[in-house]
Amino acid sequence: PPGPEHTRTGLSAETLRQAFLDNLFYIQGRFPEIATDDDRYQALSYTVRDRLLHRWVRTIQAYKERDPRTVCYLSAEYLPGPHLANNLLSLGIVDATREALRGLGLDLDAILDHEEEPGLGNGGLGRLAACFMDSLATLEIPAIGYGIRYEYGIFDQKIQDGWQVETSDTWLHYGNPWEVRRPGICYDVRIGGRTEHVTDEHGRLRVHWRHADLFRGVAYDTPVAGYGVETVNLLRLWRAEAAEDFDFTVFNQGDYVGAVMRKVRSETISKVLYPNDEADSGKRLRLLQQYFFVSCSLQDMLRIFATTGRPLAEFHAKFAAQLNDTHPTIAVAELMRLLVDEHGLDWDEAWQATRHTFAYTNHTLLPEALEKWPLPLFADVLPRHLEIVYEINRRFLDDMRLRYPDDPARIARLSIIDETPPKYVRMAHLASVGGHAINGVAALHTRLLGTTVLKDFHDIWPDKFQNKTNGVTPRRFLMLANPGLADLLTEALGDGWTRDLERLRGLEGLADDPAFQDRWRQAKLIRKAALAERLRAGQGNAIDPASLFDIQAKRIHEYKRQHLNLLHVVTLYNRLKHAPDADVPARTVLFGGKAAPGYAMAKLIIKLINAVAEVVNRDPDMRDRLKVVFVPDYNVKVAQSVYPAADLSEQISTAGMEASGTGNMKFSLNGALTIGTLDGANVEIREAVGPDNFFLFGLDADEAVRTRAAGYRPYALYERDPELRAAVDLIAGGHFAHGDAGLFRPLVDHLLGRDDYLLLADYRAYVDCQDRVADAWRDPARWTRMAILNVARMGRFSSDRAIAEYCRDIWNVAPARVDG
């Protein structure tokens, strides 16, 4: 029989209330009457953390006893979103906590709203890593996420006069109650200098790396709780600090201040996250960041491995390490260095262990995004690693020459080193050679990967290539983001869907049920009204929850074509101007997303969105039938209020360019219909929900390639389509720029001249498809049926499914249950 609950572990409302007051007093030093929002947030977070730590310790004990194969997810980015609500959900104490706080006259939602999220990623790639951590814990898979504890994450976005202005992220300002600093878990990381090759007393060739600089990485651990299970896994992020090297001893007698300054400089390594499509800036620091976190992570894995007592050649039997894009790929050379130089394994043994440890996920085909390091830079920062890369490459190419004796061009293409000056190290090649599996993140993307950028590798190792279509966690993006819909689903289906999303299929039978449809629309309307209220309170936007919410939320990039969406908006505007009495359904077109600070065209697109909004929203002729809103500072928290409010999800990238997309999944899972191209995971979403329940338009990936190859002339399309011409002319003529015809010139010139992303080629199909959207919207029963069928058939896009596939096909790991 359960005894009285412990204040630090009990889950009842009464114990939670007591623990909260204790923490308010003993951690924050406050009593309720003078506590601030932050005091309450911190006190509640520590209350929850206590309960996590308890399970965390038990998880580690279970793993220690059973010594299971462990997944190490290596990622330079994580975007977990606010922790508090998610942890309450995982622990199953949302209601008890709400009750405990109500007893104190406090509102849980107000406290949740106070949290500053860790923005330690740019977008899809970092958010995917966070969804994967959630699913790994929920599926009870032993796993560690390794990454960097950036002091400044992705910048905060302000909009001034319609332009994006970046301000620095200060997520650590109030302290971070979710992390535990582990000063005892720290590793030295060396860089620069030169190598010496010497023969030791046994006649064995040994390499000494005489480094030039030394840093230290200190572990900061964040617990990751599985949903509805006892498992709590670990997100371990490294912070760079100074190593107390010789600086503070004999070599710096008298230069105390100089030594401190060098210490401070060490900390710059983990200071700031790079915005991803920032061309070329700060290359050296970026390489340092990557090497820094990879070296700490591998040293940590070797330390853990040593506690198992197994021989080092079995390293790969203990760990499966996933390279999240090429950012951590220096790990291939670093593990070889650690095994050969530091632990004395011979090359072949070490290579065997290395190849069986790593697998590589590619997340983009964009040529400008494929990482390659200038050889002189690489040599300067990592001289020993360059030797190792050369040795890996020499052995690999020797093999390839046997296979293709008369094809030197192919050998040059395969090489890890791009030998045509200026020379580069090609990280995707190192990842492909140094691991046992290569995967794309959607079926189309995987096919294109094997036929374009990694074709030569596909030719030699077709079996190494796999598809692992992305997925999203239904806990954060349905249960937390959309509690009304979640309750409706649970009422209809029971609560099994939260851990087995395929069970949503049970909704199919309710798609035409008028009473269910009514409740469905009500749930949607509540989220739309909540978003409208947020935007009113935030920016003073007045939008009508009854209008069609048409939303595009994602990073701003030309290939994602926010400006194609705008061409449609301007077309609707022109139509209403010419026929003010036209009977068109009211639409609110919302945009959200950040542009990389150095990406001028993306920033101009943000300006154009706001410029169009200013004119459209003020025009009395629109009579509230068209509104345009830019939602500033799009992040995970904002996203959670955006997805549930959408009626229409814009997934309109040029076919062949979006590796997968994951926002597409989050929208559809929340009952939005998609207007989209056959790109990324859209292809599979459309197959899953049924072609009748998806608004498809535009060229497919093969047609896009052929269109460009056939001498694409966008200007001819502009001349031929009067609506297109009118829309472009209005932008070009300065109608949205107070008459300034120069402002949007770069954008218009690009569209009429090169139009690399084929906007004009897809314009007519897009606008006609939007007309079909409007027709469907006029019939609420039809629209709601389509929305219900979308949700019913989205089960496949759970990150639980994705992770189960990685576990089975790439990692060869199984659950290790932690008992309650």
> Could you tell me if residue 387 is left (phi over 0), alpha (psi between -120 and 50 degrees) or otherwise beta?
alpha
**Of the candidates 168, 206, 224, 187, the residue with the CA atom closest to the CA atom of residue 53:** 224
Contacts of 384 (CB under 8 A, 6+ apart): 195, 207, 209, 337, 341
- Report the run of H or E that residue 319 belongs to, with start and end: strand 319-324
Shortest Å distance, C-beta 661 to ligand 26M: 5
Catalytic (active site) residue 754: no
What is the separation of C-alpha 695 from the centre of its chain, rounded to a whole number of angstroms? 26
**Of the candidates 214, 211, 219, the residue with the CA atom closest to the CA atom of residue 238:** 219
**Of the candidates 661, 647, 653, 654, the residue with the CA atom closest to the CA atom of residue 790:** 647
Catalytic (active site) residue 555: yes
Helix (H, G, I), strand (E, B) or coil at 350: helix
* Chain residues that interact with ligand 26M, rule: CB under 6 A: 122-125, 128, 276-277, 279, 325, 363-364, 366, 368-369, 441, 470, 658-662, 680
Q: What does each C-alpha distance from 270 to 149, 240, 242, 265, 540 come to in angstroms?
A: 6, 5, 12, 11, 37
Catalytic (active site) residue 662: yes
Cβ closest to ligand 26M, residue 128 vs residue 388: 128
Shortest Å distance, C-beta 140 to ligand 26M: 24
Cβ closest to ligand 26M, residue 216 vs residue 563: 563
**From 588, 654, 662, 674, the catalytic residue:** 662
Catalytic (active site) residue 554: yes
Helix (H, G, I), strand (E, B) or coil at 458: helix
Residue 548 forms beta bridges with which residues?
A: 587
Shortest Å distance, C-beta 370 to ligand 26M: 9
Shortest Å distance, C-beta 636 to ligand 26M: 14
**From 83, 499, 666, 796, the catalytic residue:** 666
Question: Which residue type, as a one-letter code, is found at position 548?
Answer: L
Cβ closest to ligand 26M, residue 140 vs residue 277: 277
Question: In whole angstroms, what is the distance from residue 53 CA to residue 435 CA?
Answer: 34
Sign of CA dihedral 743, 747, 750, 753: negative
**From 363, 587, 607, 796, the catalytic residue:** 363
Sign of CA dihedral 415, 420, 425, 429: negative
Shortest Å distance, C-beta 259 to ligand 26M: 37
* Phi, psi for residue 253 in degrees, rounded to 5: -50, 120
Q: Is 614 exposed, middle or buried (0-12, 13-18, 19+ CB in 10 A)?
A: middle
The answer to whether 186 and 240 are in contact (CB under 8 A) is no
Cβ closest to ligand 26M, residue 276 vs residue 498: 276
Shortest Å distance, C-beta 563 to ligand 26M: 17
Q: Is 751 exposed, middle or buried (0-12, 13-18, 19+ CB in 10 A)?
A: buried
Shortest Å distance, C-beta 687 to ligand 26M: 17
Residue with tokens 């959670």: 640
Residue with tokens 């997100």: 235
**From 49, 190, 476, 554, the catalytic residue:** 554
Question: In whole angstroms, what is the distance from residue 240 CA to residue 271 CA?
Answer: 8
Question: In whole angstroms, what is the distance from residue 491 CA to residue 134 CA?
Answer: 24
Cβ closest to ligand 26M, residue 357 vs residue 660: 660
Q: What does each C-alpha distance from 661 to 41, 747, 770 come to in angstroms?
A: 33, 25, 21
For residue 542, give both structure tokens. 């007045």
- The residue of the chain with the least Cβ separation from ligand 26M equals 124
Residue with tokens 């050296």: 284
Cβ closest to ligand 26M, residue 364 vs residue 517: 364
Residue 673 forms beta bridges with which residues?
A: 648
Neighbouring C-beta atoms of residue 506, cutoff 10 Å: 16
Neighbouring C-beta atoms of residue 416, cutoff 10 Å: 24
Shortest Å distance, C-beta 680 to ligand 26M: 5
Question: In whole angstroms, what is the distance from residue 647 CA to residue 668 CA?
Answer: 9
Cβ closest to ligand 26M, residue 226 vs residue 663: 663
Catalytic (active site) residue 158: no
Catalytic (active site) residue 560: yes
Cβ closest to ligand 26M, residue 151 vs residue 558: 558
The answer to whether 564 and 766 are in contact (CB under 8 A) is yes
Q: Provide the angle, in degrees to the nearest 10, between the axes of the packed helices 759-777 and 722-732.
A: 110
Q: What is the largest CA-CA distance in the chain?
A: 94
Question: In whole angstroms, what is the distance from residue 501 CA to residue 520 CA?
Answer: 18
**What's 499's DSSP letter?**
T
Cβ closest to ligand 26M, residue 276 vs residue 588: 276
The residue length of the chain stands at 820
Q: Is 797 exposed, middle or buried (0-12, 13-18, 19+ CB in 10 A)?
A: buried
Cβ closest to ligand 26M, residue 470 vs residue 547: 470
Catalytic residues: 363, 554-555, 560, 662, 666
